[in-house]
Structure 1
Amino acid sequence: MKKIAFLSLLILGASCSQVKQQPTKPAPINVMSFNIRYDNPEDSLDNWKFRKDRAANAVRFYDVDVLGTQEVLHNQLEDLKQRLPEYGVVGVGREDGKEKGEYSALWYKKNRFDLLDSGYFWLSETPEVPGSKGWDGACERIASWAKLKDKTSGKEFFALNTHLDHVGVVARREGISLMLDRVNQLSGGLPVIVTGDFNSEPESDVIKHVTDPANPEHLTDARLASPVVYGPAWSFHDFGKIPYQHRPLIDYVFVRNGFDVLRYGVLAETENEAFLSDHAPVLVTVE
């Protein structure tokens, strides 16, 4: 009888050991692209000082793991850091590579991910030159990137956030080519997430170039890959001033190399008719 009990304990111990050795399944990742609108004193009641608490609360409420933000001035970066202390952030001001001008700031949950590497480059003919303006662009444009490692599963991935020019046709086209090349070089074959305001609609040559399957560097639009799509087919509304039927979709989340898209939504919510920004955030869950 003692022999049987001893053998049972050995078997149970072996089975427990096998369970412990099984790799942890990666949890889904909530990704948001959010143009927060720069702090413009002419925005009246839509000014940042009236929106900053709601914007930060939206990030927390939707339990965002990776957040790509655009049009972030330094004071707005500090406001968000204060309200979102659980997030690390990558990015610099696009005008001088320090604190001047808008950031394309990339945020990540510090308790979930380790930051393995990070950087930034300008969308220009001289990507490493701080403040360089590209081609026919009206503004300096910058991309921020990070390699992240999930602390639980050990899985690594590459994330990039950017904001394409709103005027320069050549700047958008060349900026996209540069971005795709850099994603290919920097990601090292890891799964990829790209967020941003691309100032281009889905049928534009810019987005078609990003998603062109004939290009080995192409990315997949999360909206088209998702089994669940929620919200409107637009993201920019200019604080509701653009007629509903004319509002464009210009904010995106793209994926590559093994990310499955579980859901996609455009969060066109208001509080007492007040928007979070002049853009609606795009929220995607990937695995």
Structure 2
Amino acid sequence: MLAIGASVLGAAPSNAAATTTVTVASYNVDSAWREVSEPKIPHWDSRVVGVKNVINAVKPDVIGIQEAPNITIGPRQYTQASDIKRMTGYAMYQPANGTAEPIPIMWRAGLFKRTASSYKVFEFRPYPDYGRAMTWVKLKSRATGNEFFVFNTHFEVGVGGQAARNSEAVKLAAEIRRVNPSGLPAFVTGDFNDPSGISAPHAIQLSAIGYADSYGLTAARMHPEFSTFNDYRRPAVGDYRIDQVYVGAANGVMVQYWENWTPSGDQLVGGRPPSDHNLIYTTATFP
């Protein structure tokens, strides 16, 4: 029922020309390389069915995807983002540059039109690794004409990556400020690989430019007791909430709802979630 409600909220009512309502999700779907690093986990061809079923159940209007690269494993060429696009029917922006490919942005083309898009590389790494980067799109509501930005990123992982995450946070905030100098409503999706909190480097940098974690802007939350990183287990109680959606609160974005989606039924693959991360989403309105 909650998923249906989110879908309804995602379509801006025709009689509310001055206000746009949008459901924005962040989802790390895990690289197909997992079949090499951890063969016991189901392969991408199986997992993508669960990923598709999660997305089709939630029906977000916009999704920032992480770890969906074009990647070659043995004789096989995987195009993970394109698989998701084909199976869900979303429109997609995915840069051709290899360092940015794991972080596409998808949206419902019937609701929004892309008016601009680009990316910024933070650190370059040669294939088969990928560097850290961000992508962004500027979308226009077909119902209201209102425009907004969505920024998507994936920060460095691991205890030894803290210095990199500090640097990435500074670069992310600087690029958001450069791309959106007029302060249009905006959302930032990502796997930040740092638990949420005011001391996290991305929280500090985003707060300085008027952005806030959507989790803290509403009391209407579902499954806040679970970590967003599930490690292919279900569900995982804890506060390891490294996947987040930030909103431009200073730019008039008002949050109504937040959810940490826990897969079930046909969203599971071999009894496991289809990724080691849960999809999270927020529903918000802006003028």
TM-score, normalized by the shorter chain, greater than 0.5: yes
Matched, 1:58 2:69: no
Q: 1:174 aligns with which of 167, 170, 175?
A: 167
Identify unmatched segments of 5+ residues in structure 1: 1-21, 125-130
Residue by residue, what CA displacement relative to the aligned partner does 1:97-154 show, whole Å, maximum 9, x if unpaired?
A: 14x7851011111111111100001124xxxxxx359xxxx95101110111001100
Change in 2 beyond 3 A, CA 1:247/1:278: farther
SS in 2 for 1:146: strand
AA at the equivalent of 2:115: L
Q: Which residue is equivalent to 2:26?
A: 33
Structure with the bigger RCO (C-alpha within 8 Å, sep 6+) is 2
Within the candidate set 232, 242, 245, 1:239 is matched to: 232
Task: Work out the number of aligned pairs and report it.
Answer: 248
Provide, for residues 25-72 of structure 1, a one-character-per-residue CA deviation record: whole Å limited to 9, x for no partner.
434211110000111213434322212122112212212111000000
Q: Which residue of 2 aligns with 1:228?
A: 220
TM normalised by structure 2 equals 0.79
How big is the shift at 1:174? 1.1
Q: Given residue 217 of structure 2, which amino acid in structure 1 is its aligned partner?
A: A
Local SS of the residue matching 2:40: helix
**Residue identity in the other structure for 1:196:** G
Q: What SS does the aligned partner of 1:254 have?
A: strand
Give 1:247 shift.
6.0
SS at match of 1:103: coil
* In 2: Cα distance, 1:244 partner to 1:59 partner: 20
1:153 to 1:246, Cα distance in 2 relative to 1, 3 A? closer
Tell me by how many angstroms 1:276 deviates.
2.7
Aligned-pair identity in percent equals 24
Partner in structure 1 of residue 6 of structure 2: none
**Paired residue secondary structure (1:46):** coil
1:202 pairs with 2:192: no
Q: 1:174 to 1:230 in 2, by over 3 A?
A: same
Match of 2:283 in 1: 285
CA RMSD of aligned residues (A): 2.5
From 256, 259, 284, the equivalent of 2:253 is 259
Moved more, 259-268 or 198-207: 198-207
**Aligned position for 1:128:** none
Alignment counterpart, residue 146 of structure 2, candidates 117, 138, 155: 155
Alignment of 1:141-152 (within 5 A): 141-152=132-143
For the Cα contact (< 8 Å) 2:229–2:242, is it kept in 1? Answer: yes
8 Å contact 1:30–1:285 — kept in the other structure? Answer: yes
**Structure-2 residue corresponding to 1:122:** 121
Of the three residues 131, 134, 140, the one matched with 1:140 is 131
Equivalent residue for 2:82? Answer: 78
What corresponds to 2:177 in structure 1?
184
Q: How big is the shift at 1:245?
A: 4.8
Q: 1:158 to 1:101 in 2, by over 3 A?
A: closer
Q: 1:164 to 1:152 in 2, by over 3 A?
A: same
- Contact in 2 for aligned 1:237/1:247 (Cα 8 Å): no
Give the superposition deviation at 1:261.
0.5
Q: Which runs of 5+ in 2 are unaligned?
A: 1-14, 71-78
